Amino acid sequence: MYIPERYPLITRKAYSENGRNNKVYVFSISNPETRQVRVRKVFENRKKIYREIANRLSLGQQILIILNFVDRAVEIYQELKLLFPNNRIGLIHGRFIPLIRSKLEEEWLDRLGNGKGSDRSQGSILIGTQLLEQSLDIDGDFLLTDLAPSDLMFHRLGRVFRHKRPERLFEAEAWIICPRFPNINSRDELRAALGLHAKLYYDYILWRSYRLWMRRGIVTIPTDQREIIEGTYRYSISQDPEWIKEAFKAMVNSNFEKEQKALAATGSLGWDEDKENGDDMDDEPDSTDSIPIDVIEQEDEENQKAATRLQSVPTRQLLLAESVEEWNDEFVIKFLDGGEIAVNKNSREISNKEKVKIITEVTLRMAKVPISKSLADEESPEWLKQVVYGRPIPITIGKNDNSVYLSNGTRTEYFYTKECGFYKPLKKQT
């Protein structure tokens, strides 16, 4: 079957009446609209990066920063708030309670969206995680991003010059924050160079992505997408260094392969078990042999589908409350925003209407966080489990230190503020 080289492609399956002559047609969009983004590799040198941010803010540019980890995003947000107190700086990630997150998203859609009333009169910074690359129709002038698998990189670049704005007198540009790769001689050295990113994404995929993106000074969307993505997910070849072959084998021997075959068994994903890796393939991203992209739904810290995730992160639901008090036959939950709700100890006496109200009010003030040592064995109260799904843990916030406390007074590893959500401070970087 002929497969066009263009991107994107549309697949259509035609069914005959007797079911014997079913055909699959693949065709592409003729002359799709393209745009170019200049890309540049930078290392984790925050002084240099912050100088560039300062320069672009002075020009009135809207800056997007998309990072791979919530705690890293919070740390950089806090640093930039101190450096640029006169500019609008925002933070969006998956550990905000819905009540606050919806307001943040609405605010930044008004500012950076495609609406006629969007305010771009002053430079601003929006910092976030994978949510920014998938959930919001926002449009930035400059992108700063952590290295990620190529398909996610294109999602992130899709937020730069997303909408036509005649007032732009500069070109679209993205800086990719890359690890420092010394002379790698083993897979352990590769993983050490990748750091925490190797715990989130497959090291083989990150290395392939790095090699492909660093060869390009300009990326054309969508023209270059097929070549780069297929080059990222191709099989390891005989010319690869041994440590790359080891990284590849570790990936296909992990749950990655098992999950792909499970999907193939349901007809959800094509899988050719007899496909072989030919030795005549070169190191350029023009091979048609590609690793199937991981489309398994992972319950990661952002609680959304994400390609090439290495593993799911166990999470717990935290219910943000000012206090939980017991009154006769009820528990009264007082929320930080001033609201409160009473829950009868006997769930049988709660009407369906009351249950809907309780579930709504509680869900608006819950957020998922990765399980930490203090949360691992904590149980949700029986009276709360009877009316709300997800085994939420009621927590309170210390008035003096913003620490997160369990109902028994135990201090957890997490902190919470209204502007940062739930986070764990990272070790200070230079």
The whole-angstrom separation of Cα 142 and Cα 171 is 9
Is 83 part of a structural domain of the chain? yes
The DSSP secondary structure of 241-282, one letter per residue, reads -HHHHHHHHHHHTSHHHHHHHHHHHTTSS---TT----TT--
- The bridge status of strand 124-128 relative to strand 88-92 is parallel
The whole-angstrom separation of Cα 424 and Cα 376 is 16
pLDDT at 281: 27
Residues 226 and 358 in one domain: no
Is 291 part of a structural domain of the chain? no
The whole-angstrom separation of Cα 168 and Cα 139 is 12
Residues 244 and 374 in one domain: no
The DSSP secondary structure of 270-336, one letter per residue, reads ---TT----TT--SSS--S-BPPP-------TT-S--TTB-----EEEEEE-SEEEEETTEEEEEPT
Count of domains for the chain? 3
- Which of 265, 286, 302 is at the close of a domain? 265
Give 242's contacts (C-beta < 8 A, 6+ positions apart). Answer: none
pLDDT at 69: 94
Element (H, E) at 221: strand 218-221
Residues 104 and 141 in one domain: yes
Residues 57 and 82 in one domain: yes
Residues 20 and 47 in one domain: no
As given in the structure block, the two tokens for residue 65 are 């920063």
CATH of the domain at 182: 3.40.50.300
Residues 87 and 203 in one domain: yes
Give 103's contacts (C-beta < 8 A, 6+ positions apart). Answer: none
The DSSP secondary structure of 122-146, one letter per residue, reads S-EEEEESHHHHHT----BSEEEEE
Longest dimension (CA), the chain: 77
- Asked if 60 contacts 123 with a C-beta cutoff of 8 angstroms, the reply is yes
Which of 318, 363, 317, 316 is closest to 339 using CA atoms? Answer: 363
Is 376 part of a structural domain of the chain? yes
DSSP letter at 348?
G
The whole-angstrom separation of Cα 246 and Cα 188 is 10
Is 28 part of a structural domain of the chain? yes
The whole-angstrom separation of Cα 174 and Cα 361 is 40
Residues 180 and 248 in one domain: yes
As given in the structure block, the two tokens for residue 176 are 């990719």
Scan for tokens 């002359």, then name that residue. 31
Residues 2 and 105 in one domain: no
CB-facing half-sphere around the CA of 291: CA atoms within 13 A: 27
Is 94 part of a structural domain of the chain? yes
Is 230 part of a structural domain of the chain? yes
Tell me the pTM. 0.81
Residues 205 and 190 in one domain: yes
Which structural domain range is residue 22 located in? 1-32
As given in the structure block, the two tokens for residue 225 are 């997408």
Is 231 part of a structural domain of the chain? yes
Residues 21 and 81 in one domain: no
The whole-angstrom separation of Cα 200 and Cα 311 is 7
Give 223's contacts (C-beta < 8 A, 6+ positions apart). Answer: 6, 7, 34
The whole-angstrom separation of Cα 27 and Cα 39 is 30
- Which of 265, 285, 305 is at the close of a domain? 265
DSSP letter at 68?
S
pLDDT at 182: 80
| Residue range 134-154, pLDDT digits in tens | 778 888 899 999 999 999 999
| Residue range 170-210, pLDDT digits in tens | 788 999 999 988 889 999 999 999 999 998 999 999 999 99
CB atoms within 10 A of CB 341: 18
Residues 418 and 363 in one domain: yes
Element (H, E) at 417: strand 411-417
| Residue range 268-317, pLDDT digits in tens | 333 232 332 323 323 333 333 333 333 222 234 443 344 455 556 788 99
* Sign of the four-CA dihedral 423, 426, 428, 430: negative
User: What is the Rg, in whole angstroms, of the alpha carbon atoms belonging to the chain?
Assistant: 24
Residues 82 and 146 in one domain: yes
Question: Mean pLDDT per 10-residue run, the chain (430 residues)?
Answer: 59 67 67 84 93 94 95 96 95 95 92 72 91 83 95 91 73 92 91 92 94 91 88 89 93 65 38 30 32 31 45 82 88 90 86 90 92 88 82 90 92 95 77
The whole-angstrom separation of Cα 414 and Cα 155 is 30
- Asked if 376 contacts 383 with a C-beta cutoff of 8 angstroms, the reply is no
Is 278 part of a structural domain of the chain? no
The DSSP secondary structure of 367-404, one letter per residue, reads EEEE--TTTTTPPPPHHHHTTSSS--EEEEE-TTT-EE
pLDDT at 116: 65
The whole-angstrom separation of Cα 389 and Cα 249 is 39
